Amino acid sequence: MLSSFFSGISGLIANSSSINVVGNNIANVNTVGFKGSRATFEDVLYQSINGTSGTSQVGRGTALSSVDTSFGQGSFESTSESTDLAIGGKGFFIVRSAEAQTNYYTRAGQFRFDSDGYMTNPAGDILQGRQIDRTTNAPFGVDTDIIISQAPSEPRATEFVGMNVNLQSNATVAGNLGSLSGVANSSVTSVAISESKYPRAGNYTISYAAPVAPAVQGTLTVTVAHTNPTGALTGTSSTYTALVDAGTTYTNLGGSGLDITTDAALVDGASRTVSFQGFSTDYVSATRNPTTTSNYSSSVTAYDSLGQPHVVTVYFRKSYETTVPQTSVWEWMAHLDAADSSTGANALAGWGTLTFNNNGALTAGGDATNVTFNFSQGANPAQAIDMVFGSGSGGGTTTQYPIASTTNFQTQDGYPPGVLQNVTVSAEGVISGHYSNGQILNLYQLTLANFNNPNGLKKEGSNLYSETIESGVAYTNAPGEGGLGKISANSLEQSNVDLATEFVKMIIAQRGYQANSRVITTTDEVLAELMNLKR
């Protein structure tokens, strides 16, 4: 009879513990990342008794078997803070106690940056992750404290300029012919540029040879020593010839692109020289504007080694045409104004040619041409930049169509120093810094942990868990890898406690407590009746 007292007491104790668990769950219904618990009971050792039918067992009550944590997913609450993080799936954030130098684990993702730039939870524990290499853009090394420096990001010197333009195929010729000069005896009286023709830039020599009988016409020869945009001779030349009469005008003589009028009294061996002043000749004088000797220009901002901006202007001039095969050749010239040049004067940094077929497609010259720029003093000299006008520009290729010249695309890969403006976190846990220069730099990747037996973790308070022998050693990986969940930024995981369920459990525990108390009072009444037998 007395054992029923102890059975009832065990029931009171067990159900009291159950009410404690329910009360703790309800108390933390609004705690970020909280995982609810449940109490489980077990019956205790039975007492064997002998009956008429043999040996039987009588129960001796109940005991609290365990308090298990439910690690089910909680719902997400959206926030305005990019450093509020939630894990969608398995895993725990790893934080390090600055005081104890110990790692703890949590589902609560309320993180902020402290005065030193460390990413911490409200208790000051530091979030752990791996640094990302700026070159490979991949995490490296071991887990470390996540600290975001407020120092400006490093500048990047421009190494690549890509440009896609359309150059007007029927643009007017840019440049002028110089004055006639030569021997006293004249061979020609005037030279002009033929309409819709593009004579080669260079130094021209015009000579005349008298006819040899029985021929009645002499031979006029036009020879041009080619010059590049710097005005220097290239070592190549072109020759054009035609049979001519005295005192006659010849249009596009010999395909030279020049209209030539012969003298009325041609003299054998007489010669004249004339210089075609293209971009180069006008350019060498700092007082002249290269825009007057080019057909089109486009400017792009490039950056030196200090991150200082400089305007690079690319001038385009239709240089000449060929008939076999039928092509058009343009010169491009990369130019620095005095304010951007280390010499303090206008400077031609580099040049090249672009060749188009009769469909307007670029056939040569569009690949990278390395140009050396000497920007204003203080930065590294001789900065090499690849100028690309073809398909490698990143935005299509340069064309030559009979429409107005225009820039369709241009880009460059340099940038100035930047100030950190904000931080974002991707689903893979990559923490990126957004800087005022438009750059987005991947700085860290969060590391998540999980355990073979999460129920074996020890609850430390402040939403923290610690590793135990029962939980096993933590295994870690990046979010989304190895069965771990992904990260939701601007979100917090709410408590997974369901109030309706907890109220039902509370009622059940309350009724269980009442019933067990009745066992005790009933046993007391039975014993009282037993004592009354003596009376």
Give dist(CA 435, CA 358) in Å, integer.
Answer: 46
Average pLDDT across the chain, whole number:
88
Chain segment 449-484, per-residue pLDDT in tens? 999 999 999 999 999 999 999 999 999 999 999 999
Query: Phi/psi of residue 253, each to 5°?
Result: -55, 120
Give dist(CA 100, CA 98) in Å, integer.
Answer: 6
Cβ neighbour number for residue 90 with a 10 Å cutoff: 16
Quick check: helix, strand or coil at residue 514?
helix
- pLDDT value for 279: 53
Give the model's confidence band at 275: pLDDT under 50 very low, under 70 low, under 90 confident, else very high.
Answer: confident
Quick check: helix, strand or coil at residue 265?
coil
160-166/383-388 β-pairing: parallel
Give dist(CA 502, CA 29) in Å, integer.
Answer: 10
- pLDDT value for 286: 47
Give dist(CA 276, CA 193) in Å, integer.
Answer: 9
Q: Return the C-alpha torsion angle 179, 180, 183, 188, nearest 10.
A: -170
Q: How many residues does the chain have?
A: 535
Give dist(CA 88, CA 448) in Å, integer.
Answer: 12
> Looking at residue 339, what DSSP letter applies?
G
Number of H helices, E strands in the chain: 3, 39
Quick check: helix, strand or coil at residue 137?
coil
Of 261, 183, 280, 162, residue with least CA distance to 220? 261
Chain segment 18-66, per-residue pLDDT in tens? 889 999 999 999 999 999 999 988 877 556 566 666 666 666 678 788 8
Quick check: helix, strand or coil at residue 347?
strand
Give the model's confidence band at 212: pLDDT under 50 very low, under 70 low, under 90 confident, else very high.
Answer: confident
Delimiting residues of CATH 2.60.98.20 domain(s) in the chain = 160-170+281-412
288: pLDDT strictly greater than 50? no
Q: Does domain 160-170+281-412 have CATH number 2.60.98.20?
A: yes
